[in-house]
Amino acid sequence: MAQYSRIEVAETMRAQGMVPLFYHPNIELGKKVLKSCYDGGSRLMEFTARGDFAFEVFSELNKYAIKELPGMILGVGSITDAAAASLFMQMGANFIVTPSLREDIAIVCNRRKVLWSPGCGSLTEINRAEELGCEIIKLFPGSTYGPGFVKAIKGPQPWTSIMPTGGVSTEKSNLESWFAAGVTCVGMGSKLISKEILAKQDFAGLQSLVSKTLQTIQEIKAK
| Nearest-angstrom CA–CA distance, 213 and 108 | 34
∠ CA 122-54-164, nearest 5°, is 25
CB neighbours (10 Å) of residue 223?
7
Nearest alpha carbon to residue 104 among 83, 122, 87, 125: 83
Whole-Å CA distances, 34 to 94, 121, 193: 15, 30, 10
pLDDT for the residue numbered 171: 97
| Nearest-angstrom CA–CA distance, 124 and 138 | 14
Stretches in the chain below the pLDDT threshold 50: none
∠ CA 144-163-113, nearest 5°, is 135
| Nearest-angstrom CA–CA distance, 86 and 81 | 9
Cβ-contact 136, 13 below 8 angstroms: yes
Whether the full predicted model's pTM is greater than 0.75, yes or no, is yes
100: helix, strand or coil? coil
* Mean pLDDT, rounded, of the chain: 97
95: helix, strand or coil? strand
Cβ-contact 175, 167 below 8 angstroms: no
pLDDT for the residue numbered 223: 84
pLDDT for the residue numbered 184: 98
Cβ-contact 139, 162 below 8 angstroms: yes
